[in-house]
Structure 1
């Protein structure tokens, strides 16, 4: 770079940007700005304070944006009058005042350079109507993104809440039903106990019967899972035994003994210690015992399911944690799957996790929003059938999460636009077009990572890369 030299009014007038300015305005530009020359290399760097406005006089430049660890070239031009730099300085504090891209001189290049403060004065004094239009466009678009983004999150929250309510209602209803049945069985046990106590039972018989009761309860905890056919065959065996020994309606209590993991031979032990006249009472007393144990297991399973769902909801929302923490990404993924379990339905879920990956510094709640957007889109694409694959791995200094689906794929003419704000292929009213835009900004802007997609029919894969180590101090602002 050389020192600024005095600009030529005649040269400025040949640029499309300045061709309609008066001599007085061109003179003002030359008095405030100047010409600078650059050899091939970096002229301005993305993220640095935007102090100058550059207009290309001659040469070739390339603009690039940082995407993850890579610099992605967005523009290459030799067009005289092309501009870059502090072009949004007139917006003041309403917009970040840093260079939004890196500009490199590809060949030796000359620029007309104007300080940001002078550019702001120029815009406000020379183009007041254009300035108002630009400000209106900027604020309007910003407000629209904020409002629609909030709506997008509320819609997602409503959908997740409906699914969570449904998932909680099932085990809660089961627990209530089991509790009611348990109350009846305990009452029946008290009645049978009173009959046994008033009968002609000696101490040895009672002790033996109680011992059988304890072993039966232990067997419930070890009961093997039977196929419907196996269970039906075993129920027939119990029903036949009950009928052979004069126990009425044996078919009604047979399922309880089968569910408890007992075999018919176990009943012979009862027959050995009680008289024939007391056999039915002893069997039914043990049936109440087994039913009670099964109902308590059902209540335990139901309440455990509720607890698991509540834990997943807390994990998903990160409501009891600081916004920025070192977390296990797999826990975030699992909590998202639990929250979306109703939508998953019959879709096969394959989790190929590399559990050796370390915990990483992230905004947990916002990453869960990313997983929700991508997984929800995948489920909608598969329309209830197919395979959802979630794979984690390390790629260089990044933790990579790959979310794939077997849906019809994203059309080739669409895939390059899916991260654009307000772009959607869904019917009007079914999508805002901000889900993937928000996801991109959370991953790229907030976590300094990368979000890409590859798609063909039957195989669509979104890849999220997150730095293994903190790339920068956490920002105070949101993703937008």
Structure 2
């Protein structure tokens, strides 16, 4: 960490960081729904793309089936094998035989892609509002990355450097929201094309995950305020100023902490620490 980097570890004195407070619960749900709304068009595009070529493949396969039925029906009334060969040649039988497996394989891949996106959406929107349970932190990161994929892929290349993690006791829905906020902030800090690096590791009784970007970075003054509710440096319409404030409250509820390292023009790295096991559970 250089002299221009700032580590944030103190709790901003604000009611909204008491994540169990009814107002914070309401705002957390509102922020989550706003995030899903923001990503809805991107998720729709991600699903619509494989749906499009699966639908196209089905239409092609339907045409092939009609041609194959003509060949099969012809076997009942052709007078010679020569006539049958001519029909098969006219209907491009050899090409159909080669193309059908490729169409089926591509369609299967498309359906697997859709299944993967839906599975990630279900995991991301997990409704275990108040429950801490042993879960796979990497699965949370991966599912959130899938949901946010369309928001990120046109701005940055994503690199994953994952360590070996044990099952961690956390609230899946809430930590997914933290990951989402960090990913979207990282993507929006990159003006043209850049890089977002996701890292995880374990340090004794703690695990951590971090999101590092090659974006614009932050001044020390901005870093001191990023966890304040309603504070945002984004243009109107691009942020509520609640994402990081609520993320801070979530991490506090998990008895964890958030460290921020940033330099103007050199990007930002935000690390979230969580205990492997929650006290009193």
TM-score by length of 2: 0.83
Distance 1:169 1:331 in 2: 24
Q: In structure 1, the residue corresponding to 2:92 is in which secondary structure? A: helix
* Counterpart contact for 2:71–2:84, Cα < 8 Å: no
Q: In structure 1, the residue corresponding to 2:98 is in which secondary structure? A: helix
Task: Within 5 Å, give how 1:366-381 maps onto structure 2.
Answer: 366-381=174-189
Q: In structure 1, the residue corresponding to 2:258 is in which secondary structure? A: strand
Residue 336 of structure 1 aligns with which residue? 144
Distance 1:161 1:181 in 2: 30
1:453 aligns with 2:260: yes
Greater CA drift, 452-461 or 420-429: 420-429
Task: Within 5 Å, give how 1:19-418 maps onto structure 2.
Answer: 149-195=28-74, 198=78, 200-201=80-81, 278=85, 281=88, 284-319=92-127, 323-346=131-154, 347-354=156-163, 356-418=164-226
Aligned residue among 257, 274, 278 for 1:466: 274
1:450 Cα deviation after fit: 0.9
Larger Rg: 1
1:418 Cα deviation after fit: 0.7
Q: Deviations over 1:155-190 (max 9, x none)?
A: 112112222222222222222221121111111112
* Counterpart contact for 1:448–1:467, Cα < 8 Å: yes
Distance 1:344 1:199 in 2: 63
Residue 432 of structure 1 aligns with which residue? 240
- Stretches of structure 2 that go unaligned for 5 or more consecutive residues are 1-8, 16-20
* Counterpart contact for 2:190–2:214, Cα < 8 Å: yes
TM-score by length of 1: 0.50
Q: In structure 2, the residue corresponding to 1:454 is in which secondary structure? A: strand
Distance 1:440 1:166 in 2: 31
Distance 2:224 2:130 in 1: 35
| Relative contact order, higher structure (CA 8 A, sep 6+) | 2
Change over 3 Å in CA distance of 1:153–1:317 after alignment to 2: closer
Distance 1:341 1:365 in 2: 18
Distance 1:396 1:318 in 2: 28
Distance 1:385 1:321 in 2: 36
- Stretches of structure 1 that go unaligned for 5 or more consecutive residues are 1-66, 75-94, 96-141, 202-274, 474-480
Q: Deviations over 1:56-84 (max 9, x none)?
A: xxxxxxxxxxx6xxxx699xxxxxxxxxx
Instruction: Give RMSD over aligned pairs.
Output: 2.8
Distance 1:155 1:317 in 2: 13
Greater CA drift, 423-432 or 303-312: 423-432
In the alignment of these two chains, the number of paired residues is 262
1:287 Cα deviation after fit: 1.4
Distance 1:302 1:188 in 2: 25
